[in-house]
Structure formats: C-alpha cells, structure tokens
Amino acid sequence: QIIWKICQPLPCVPLRRRFWVDTAKSHPSSLVLTEDQQFNPADSVGLIVSIQGISKIDLVNFYWGGHVSVTMKVPAAVFLRDFGPSLEAATKKALQEVIDAPVIQQQAISHLETALAAEFEAWRKGTSRKEDDAFQPLPDQPDAENLMRYMRIAVVNWHREMGEEPYPKISGDDKLWFNPESKMIEARWDVESLWYNIPSLRSFPFDTNEMCAIFWTRMWRKVRIIEFGRSYALGTSFQEFDVLGFRGDPQPLRGWDPYICESNVVPNRARAGDNELMFYGRFWVRRKPFYFIVALLFPTAVVTFMGASAILIASGEAPNSIVLGGESPLSLVAGLMLTLVAMKFSYADSVPKLGYLTMLDTYIAVSFFFLTAAAMLIVLLPEESLQDLGAAAIFAGLCLLFNVAYFAVAYREFRIPGEHSPSLTFPA
C-alpha cells in the first residue's frame, strides 16, 4: 500500500479507443505527447517501455505477471552533463571526443566503452560514487540489474506472493555501449516480475482496468519517452480477459496499431524535492462478461420475475387451479430469496473482499428488494386489493424497467467509446 501511494501522481484516465486515420503515417507518440513531453536528443535521456510477455492476470490479488522491456538511450553530452561530477578524467575525455568528432571512429568508441565499463566496475566494487544510498550496488545480483541501478533506474510496483521466487528478475545488457549513428550511450533490460496494481471492480463483471509497470529514476535532469515501444504481448486474449494496447481494441483497425503500450514520464509528487521521476508502461484488460451474464444475471432475472407468480397466486388470479389451491405464495418467495443467497456465493472467488458494491452486487441487492416487496404485498394486502391494483403486472413491469436500465449502464461501462481526434493522455 505504501509503494502504491508513492505512485499516485499517475492519474486515472478514462479508457478510449483511438481510430484516427493517420495519412501521414505518424507514430502515435507524436500525436499524444505535448511538445514539452517530446524527446529532444540535445538535452534529454530517452526511454522506451514495452510489454514483452504477460503470463498471468490476477485482479483478486492485485497483480499481473509478465516481462517488461526498458531501453535507455543517453546522449553523450547529457551523460557528461549529469554524470560528470563523479566520472574519472579519462572517461570525461573519451566522452568529449565523441561529442566533438564530426565522424566518430571505431577506436574512439572502443575507448569510451572501455572507460564506461571501468566506471561501472569501480561503482560495483564500491570504490566510487557512493553519494546515492538508494542506488547502491547489490553484490549478490546479476550485473544487468546492477547496471540498471548504476543508471539510476529501479522498479516501483513489484509484488511478491508468499512462497514465490523473489521478484523482480532483471536480465539484459551488463555493460553500456555506444551507438555511433545516434551518438547515444544505450542499454536494454528485460524485467520479469509480478506487478502490483489496484483495480477498480465497481463495474464487475463489465470492468476494464489499467495494468502498469512503474519505474523510478533520479539524478537525470530531463527524462522523456522516445517512442511508444511495440508490445508483443498486447492485442491478445486470455481465458477471462481481453488485453488491450494503447487504449485500443484487440483487433487491428485502419490507421491504428493495437500492439503499442501507453507510456510516459511523470514527476513523483510525493518526493518532489529530490528531483525524482517515474516512468511507466500501461495497458488495459477488459473482462469477458458472457459467463457471468449466462450463469448469474440471467438466472437472477428469472428468479426475480417469478415473484410476480407469487403475487398472482396470492391475488387468486392464477389460471391453474391446482397451483392456486396448493402453493403458498409466501413460501414461494422465501424459496426464491434463498436461491439468490446461493447465487451470491457462486462468484465470491472472482472478486476480492471489497469495501464497496460491484454492479453484480447491486443487481442481486435490488433483486432482493423486489422479492422483499413481493413478500410484503402478499402479507399486507388482501386478494381484492392485489387484483384492483394489478400488483403482479406492476411488479413485472418494474422488474423489466430495472433490467433495461441496468444493462444499458452495463453496455456503457463495457464498450470503449470512439475518439475521432487525438487528446492528451497526461495533460501538461
């Protein structure tokens, strides 16, 4: 809970589907991010976040499991500017050479990569750059994880279950390398973890929830997303969920790539004075509600409508004389209410213990109210009054009206409304 509260600067953004017809073939990041949020190689550290695999989605225990790829690209000038005070003179010289050179020679690249490897090795052994206690080396962890810590990146919302192996598991580059074409120092890591998220299940079983992989960094003056990385695990379907990419459908549309995960960099408002930033990759999961409609909602509706039968019997209007003479209407209502109680427990394993009602809870509660009202009418009103009021017809009409309103709301919650023009994911 404490870790999640640190992540609160991530706002809750309504899920929308973008289906822009992009004639210019622009990347979605150029349409969504503001000018200030765009990556500028002259003064920014660039990041790419993508989802490489999704192994499990467990909303009951508040996590999803999978692999997230993080690529970091640091212009040589930015590396020298932000890391400069802690670098050796030889490393500063090698950086300045590649910055000034109009054409970078392979020898200069080799000198720089060797100097950077020596800096990392000295940090890993604890002989340099000890000013940041939050990013100390971990002797028992692989070099890839230590390199990620050396570059001041750490995972925020990792989750560990009792008996599970420790997470996160980090693999990938164990040394920095220089790209002569972009003049950037680059590294890429794959982070396998259970990622802690708090879903909102108020719309269950028509709910759609955002799933995040959140990281944090500091020391870098300016961090930006280079582009929305292609996520090979998106646009897929699980047994219980559809997995949606950048606010999109699992099916490709014209001008739309469903396999891109939303990402951005946001300030950590909980610790604003420490120049801390958080960056994330976010996708969406939408529950498949058909099972709950057939197995719970439809039977509950039938049981509730049968309350009208009990009122018909009590008013003496039942056409079948055998039923009219042998069935106790109050006993019938009591049996219907017991049936609803049993249905309530049939989906208990699908949702955690919540402090609020879901849409399914509300449906069953209102159905209980209808049956309670039927029982009160049967007990308090004589046969003639029930006949004069048309109580059975009114009861059935109100049940029908409630079901129509309920499923209209459910459809609104389930569908992803169209968005014909781009809008900001995170306003500046």
pLDDT at 69 over 90: yes
Cβ pair 12, 425 in contact under 8 A: no
187: β partners:
72
The average pLDDT across 368-391 equals 91
**Type and span of the H or E element at 399:** helix 391-414
Q: Other CB atoms closer than 10 Å to residue 277's CB: what's the count?
A: 23
What is the model's pLDDT at position 166? 73
Three-state DSSP class for 404?
Answer: helix
| Confidence tier at 351 by pLDDT (50, 70, 90) | confident
Mean pLDDT of the chain: 83
- How far CA 185 is from CA of 60, 72, 121, in Å, comes to 41, 8, 17
CA–CA distance, 135 with 131 (Å, rounded to integer): 9
CA–CA distance, 351 with 380 (Å, rounded to integer): 38
| This prediction's pTM | 0.84
Which percentage of the chain shows pLDDT scores above 70? Answer: 81
pLDDT at 427 over 50: no
Q: Which of 139-148, 222-231, 326-335, 343-352 has the highest mean pLDDT?
A: 139-148
pLDDT at 344 over 60: yes
Pairing of strands 45-58, 223-225: parallel
Between 422 and 234, whose confidence is greater?
Answer: 234
Residue 177 token pair: 């390398």
What is the model's pLDDT at position 94? 93
Considering only CA atoms, give the Rg of the chain.
30
CA–CA distance, 182 with 195 (Å, rounded to integer): 33
Cβ pair 228, 246 in contact under 8 A: yes
Cβ pair 296, 346 in contact under 8 A: yes
What is the model's pLDDT at position 83? 87
- The CATH classification of domain 2-288, taken from the options 3.30.1180.10, 1.20.1440.230, 2.70.170.10, 2.160.10.10: 2.70.170.10
291-414: CATH number: 1.20.58.390
Cβ pair 347, 364 in contact under 8 A: no
pLDDT at 21 over 50: no
What is the model's pLDDT at position 231? 83
In the chain, which segments carry CATH 2.70.170.10?
A: 2-288
pLDDT digit string, tens, across residues 105-162: 999 999 999 999 999 999 988 777 555 667 888 888 899 999 999 999 999 888 876 6
CA–CA distance, 233 with 225 (Å, rounded to integer): 20
